[in-house]
Structure 1
């Protein structure tokens, strides 16, 4: 699937920037909340219950660090969209496909994760379309379109 526009009206470049900014901001805020919990040593009951068999402090620190790493990758996506850096866009796609798979597992645990999974899925399609646009690689012809073009060539001859 390849999109031509972001939200039916914006160029893909701006859609990629919006995706990078929104996920970067979200990851920064959630990471800050996690670090705030660690510093104050005050965890909500659902967090303690979620990590009941592990050390809550270490787990929250790990998740916060991962979220800040994702924030860095999202900031790099904005840079890559502005300066058309294919390698960074490809890296963002690879990392976020893995995040998408991990988030699929957490959808069962947290209903808010379903919002993230839908938005991340759409943004993956947008960034993949932008990546395809940057590389200039055309999608392969289907059998039906190849047959139609071959019959046109035969009729023109």
Structure 2
């Protein structure tokens, strides 16, 4: 099985996993907060209205904002798992973000920013999976 030994060539995997959790956690909180801000002001960009054209935009944006907060909570669990070196807390992050990766691939047709998220998320999942494998080998 191919796995990484370091995060970005010189940073230990554990630190890389913690940085990944922080990066995605902060990003998810910002995106979720921006979604709630749009719902509160009831003002949405044209591309968002077009994306949800057959549904109530405020409800959809609110659901997505709530989802991003749940993802931020999942990122917090990843950070805890990396700090405590407990693979049981890291595995769920991999499962949830695999689903997120698939969903992001669908939205890549709508947004160019999604392509950047796909690339970053794919690498970070590889890092987290490498650390997860390292922890599970120690348990065996």
**Band of TM-score, shorter chain:** over 0.9
The alpha-carbon deviation at position 23 of structure 1 amounts to: 0.4
Structure 1 distance, partners of 2:39, 2:86, is 36
Structure 1 distance, partners of 2:54, 2:43, is 18
Partner of residue 44, structure 2: 43
Partner of residue 124, structure 1: 125
User: C-alpha offsets along residues 65-91 of structure 1, whole Å, 9 cap, x if unaligned?
Assistant: 110000000011111100011111011
The alpha-carbon deviation at position 61 of structure 1 amounts to: 0.5
Question: Runs of 4+ in structure 1 displaced over 2 angstroms?
Answer: none
Structure 1 distance, partners of 2:4, 2:78, is 18
Structure 1 distance, partners of 2:45, 2:107, is 18
Write the mapping of 1:12-91 to structure 2, written as runs, cut at 5 A: 12-91=13-92
Partner of residue 99, structure 2: 98
Write the mapping of 1:102-117 to structure 2, written as runs, cut at 5 A: 102-117=103-118
Number of residue pairs the alignment of both structures matches: 137
Partner of residue 135, structure 1: 136
Structure 2 distance, partners of 1:100, 1:52, is 24
Q: Please, which runs of 5 or more residues in structure 2 have no aligned partner?
A: none
RMSD: 0.9
The alpha-carbon deviation at position 37 of structure 1 amounts to: 0.6
Structure 2 distance, partners of 1:32, 1:4, is 35
TM-score (norm 1): 0.85
Q: Please, which runs of 5 or more residues in structure 1 have no aligned partner?
A: 138-157
